[in-house]
Amino acid sequence: MIGSVSVLSASTQMHSLRKHNRERTLAQNAMRSMAERIHAASHGFSDDPNTWASSVLALYGPGGTQVSFAVEGLTLPQGADFVGAITVLTNETLNDTGLNVELGLPRDLNADGDDDDVDVSGNARILPVVLTLRWSGESGTLTMRHGFYLLGY
């Protein structure tokens, strides 16, 4: 009887761990795929440095908004409308603390020699991007963030 209970307990824990690892793998793959898609689109706009930032923002952050995306295999958290979110930052004065991701902000995004512009959407040369995934998983609601830069050169 004790042996049966031990085997059942170990089996249950292994199933839970397997499901948790599957969710994290799905999340990491979705994050990597979206980052590659954004980099590819950004590179396609880099022919004209005068419109690069506005072209990227029109696709991934129109009007300073957050763009959402679905991730197949991950469950929406209760009360949420989407699993994934793309945030393109255009405010040089932001810092890493409020973003929960290390990007080295504040930073001069439009190459004008200072980092005090609150909106560089028209003339940015570098754009910080934060991808956020939030899903309901085996161990509760989980969040994963990935920050990176797009270069308009």
Residues forming beta bridges with residue 124, ordered by sequence position: none
Where do the structural domains in the chain lie, given as residue ranges? 2-151
pLDDT tens-place values along the chain, 153 residues long:
888 777 777 777 777 788 888 999 999 999 999 999 999 999 988 888 888 999 999 999 887 788 999 999 999 998 889 999 999 999 999 988 888 899 998 999 998 999 999 999 888 999 999 999 999 987 789 999 999 999 987
Measured in degrees and rounded to the nearest 5, phi and psi for residue 83 equal -95, -45
- Do the Cβ atoms of 144 and 132 come closer than 8 Å? yes
What's the Cα-to-Cα distance from 85 to each of 7, 71, 130, 143, rounded to whole Å? 41, 10, 8, 11
- Do the Cβ atoms of 117 and 90 come closer than 8 Å? no
